[in-house]
Amino acid sequence: MLEKITKPSLMVNKAITLDNISRMLEKTKAAGAIFRPHFKTHQSGVVGQWFRSFGIHKITVSSVSMAQYFALHGWKDITIAFPVNLRELPAINHLALSAKINLLVESIEVINALETGLDHISDVYIKVDVGAARTGIAIDNSEAIISLAEQIKSKLKLKLAGFLSHAGQTYKAKGITEIEEIARCSQKKLFEIKEKLKDPSLILSWGDTPSCSMLPELNGFDEWRPGNFVFYDIMQYHIGSCELNDIAVAMACPVVAVHPERNQIVVYGGAIHFSKERIIADNGFELYGYVVEFTENGWSKPIAGAWLSSLSQEHGIVNLPSTMIQQFRPGDIIGILPVHSCLAVSAMNELISIEGEIIPCFKG
Amino acid sequence: MLEKITKPSLMVNKAITLDNISRMLEKTKAAGAIFRPHFKTHQSGVVGQWFRSFGIHKITVSSVSMAQYFALHGWKDITIAFPVNLRELPAINHLALSAKINLLVESIEVINALETGLDHISDVYIKVDVGAARTGIAIDNSEAIISLAEQIKSKLKLKLAGFLSHAGQTYKAKGITEIEEIARCSQKKLFEIKEKLKDPSLILSWGDTPSCSMLPELNGFDEWRPGNFVFYDIMQYHIGSCELNDIAVAMACPVVAVHPERNQIVVYGGAIHFSKERIIADNGFELYGYVVEFTENGWSKPIAGAWLSSLSQEHGIVNLPSTMIQQFRPGDIIGILPVHSCLAVSAMNELISIEGEIIPCFKG
């Protein structure tokens, strides 16, 4: 499968991907919840088709451009899980001609602008900040949340669909107990808000791959929106969301230099392919990826004592055990499991399945 | 100039860019040296044309793909300052039909593969590691360097053109004295190697924007290959390579949420636009960019006490002084001077001049 690889190429194992999708779907089904996977990770019409083969019809994206891309691929129910960008209202109006577009709001100002500027009636979710401190109204400010909900209900063009949260802090959580506490505590508060509004149809929508992967049961919320789980990555492995053999993507990188004197090889594969997402540990240790060897049907387990230790624009430096360094020659291909698969996919123009199929991706 | 901006857009000030080019060109001219700018920063045929208007005809790139792009834009003398990727030999052979392609080598193995695989005679430079420990033969291993030079001379398809170095450690240097020491010390050693080979035509080629910008005179080396200087960025400002008003690019980002309670606004503009390159200071302070306001003809100085403090895939969090937060509304545009302009350009499909001209870029 590697004969045609001439430059950094993000290889996808379709079988692992399908397993990841199937497992998460079953978990949401068991809880009787809606599964609305986030497509910002794979960003591909082809991978979208793999989801569709499981009967999945609702999706999440993170930009209007990405919504346009997936609408063109036939998706009809798309939540843009990013605060409405008022500069893109004309594009949102156009999009709504071909798909149901669900919007995210957190201020009166944006609600008023939508009421004036939308050409259609739109479902809106209130973004509730459950502790990530990125966007949304703070969950403890229930008065402001309810007030915004009442405002939305008074508008002709807006239909309050529910409350949407992304517990980004689970990425820094210390294990399952803390994640369970974040989810349970947020669910309780969100449910109280929903109760006060006396509208049982309101949806509590919950995201983030760590909690969707690690919670034993996906109860409590009406909708789940994980994204990264489709491919997982080293970051998720470190958090505990997945096993190493659940990781479905590996960057194939040509070896361009071998330096036995410092137990390093240099690969073609840099910041513009992986992004500069990294994991830092004590003593200044930096990790940009684990190292694997490609096999007939995929890739090996990570090589113990090997890691992608540094990235510049096009170069990657790979540290290897001294016993292995002599195995590699310029022109060989080595595999790297990325730290953050979403950003690696976003940096590439396409994915390649280990069967050799070219899988085009959205370019934003 | 901002009316048409709907999503993150990298704005270029052409006047500043031309000044940056002109200043560096004059400096190399004063030293009687070759100016071979690295085009990996702007990656654009249009910006290349700006260089050409100064009479510049030799360029550097960092990949075969980028060489292909610039060959299509009429460049005829291109150094690929990246170790030869043997997997791209057919592409190199094809490229050589339309441009003089200069290659970078550091091992006998690759030299032998070139001798076998090249369809043409190629200039090659030996990559010498002057302390960055990325690629190249260590400068203190003059025996290995000379031995490789002799090997190259014995080949029919290879012409030894000189020695190429990239002093990447200048990015971590503590001021001009340390940078001068790196350049002076390396120059002395490289010159000794050149003397031993008794070939005065051999070129000593030196790169990196910090040394090209900060050295008072560009003597000692025959050729200079800075890249980043064309746009500069916050990293270079922190190193001391430029003034703030030499920075020629600013990302225009739509404001999507305003959070006065934490003196932050959220912009559409994330890791997929800026990359995750950052500057870290004490106490966990993280800086992904400085904040500017766009004006009629460009942008303001950075706002004191304002910085891009966090990035996720599409979101950027901007910290602002409490006195300014109320000035911003969803739908406004704010400017961010990036930490690393090369990676920001690489993440975008195009640049936009402040006069509104769309400037397409290479997509790798």
Q: Is residue B171 part of a domain?
A: yes
Answer yes or no: do A185 and A286 share one domain. Answer: no
Answer yes or no: do A196 and A290 share one domain. Answer: no
Q: Which residues in chain B are closer than 8 Å to A262, comparing Cβ atoms?
A: 133
Give B259's strand partners.
B264
Answer yes or no: do A163 and A250 share one domain. Answer: no
- Smallest CA-to-CA distance from A225 within A361, A69, A33 is with A33
Answer yes or no: do B199 and B304 share one domain. Answer: no
**Residue A30 distance to chain B (closest CA, Å):** 30
Answer yes or no: do B182 and B279 share one domain. Answer: no
Q: How far apart are CA B137 and CA A243, in angstroms?
A: 39
Which A-chain residues 73-102 have CB contacts (< 8 A) with chain B? 82-88, 91
Tokens of residue A222, six digits: 């009406």
Q: Which residues in chain A are closer than 8 Å to B342, comparing Cβ atoms?
A: 313
Q: How far apart are CA A308 and CA A8, in angstroms?
A: 14
Tokens of residue A169, six digits: 């802090």
Q: Which residue has the higher pLDDT, B189 or A173?
A: B189
Answer yes or no: do A108 and A253 share one domain. Answer: no
Nearest to B330 among A86, A310, A333 (CB): A86
For B328-361, b/e burial (b = at least 16 CB within 10 A) is bebbbbbbbbbbbbbbbbbbbeebbbbeeeebeb
From first to last of the 364 residues of chain B, give the pLDDT tens digit.
789 999 999 999 999 999 999 999 999 999 999 999 999 999 999 999 999 999 999 999 999 999 999 999 999 999 999 999 999 999 999 999 999 999 999 999 999 999 999 999 999 999 999 998 889 999 999 999 999 999 999 999 999 999 999 998 888 887 899 999 999 999 999 999 999 999 999 999 999 999 999 999 999 999 999 999 999 999 999 999 999 999 999 999 999 999 999 999 999 999 999 999 999 877 778 999 999 999 999 999 999 999 999 999 999 999 999 999 999 999 999 999 999 999 999 999 899 999 999 999 998 7
Give B137's strand partners.
B128
Q: Is residue B187 part of a domain?
A: yes
Answer yes or no: do A183 and A128 share one domain. Answer: yes
Chain position carrying tokens 């294990």? A175
Q: Is residue B267 part of a domain?
A: yes
* Total domains present in chain A: 2
**Residue B58 distance to chain A (closest CA, Å):** 21
For the entire predicted model, the pTM comes to 0.96
> Of A192, A226, A260, which residue is a domain's last?
A226
Q: Is residue A103 part of a domain?
A: yes
Tell me whether A332 touches chain B (CB under 8 Å): no
What pLDDT, on the 0 to 100 scale, is given for residue A341? 97
What pLDDT, on the 0 to 100 scale, is given for residue B112? 98
What pLDDT, on the 0 to 100 scale, is given for residue A57? 98
Reduce the DSSP state of residue A87 to 3 states and report it: helix
CATH number of the domain where residue A354 is located: 2.40.37.20
Which B-chain residues 335-364 have CB contacts (< 8 A) with chain A? 342-343, 346-347, 349, 363-364
| Most B CBs within 10 Å, among A109, A272, A308, A327, to test the B interface | A272
Q: Is residue B303 part of a domain?
A: yes
How many CB pairs lie under 8 A apart between chains A and B? Answer: 153
Nearest to B256 among A83, A275, A314 (CB): A83
Answer yes or no: do B170 and B260 share one domain. Answer: no
Tell me whether A115 touches chain B (CB under 8 Å): no
Q: Is residue B259 part of a domain?
A: yes
Nearest CA in chain B to A262: B133
Nearest to B315 among A135, A333, A346 (CB): A135
Tell me whether A40 touches chain B (CB under 8 Å): yes
Answer yes or no: do A159 and A204 share one domain. Answer: yes
Question: What's the count of helices (H) and strands (E) in chain A, helices before strands?
Answer: 11, 22
Nearest to B257 among A7, A107, A310 (CB): A107
- Cβ-defined contact of B331 to A113 (cutoff 8 Å): yes
Q: How far apart are CA B34 and CA B39, in angstroms?
A: 15
| Most B CBs within 10 Å, among A134, A225, A333, to test the B interface | A134
Range of the domain at B175: 62-226
Answer yes or no: do A172 and A252 share one domain. Answer: no
Answer yes or no: do B179 and B71 share one domain. Answer: yes
Q: Is residue A42 part of a domain?
A: no
| Most A CBs within 10 Å, among B313, B317, B318, B361, to test the A interface | B313
Which A-chain residues 194-223 have CB contacts (< 8 A) with chain B? none
Q: Which residues in chain B are closer than 8 Å to A294, comparing Cβ atoms?
A: none
Answer yes or no: do B77 and B182 share one domain. Answer: yes
CA torsion, points A354, A356, A358, A364, in degrees to nearest 10? 30
**Residue A110 distance to chain B (closest CA, Å):** 7
Q: Is residue A23 part of a domain?
A: no
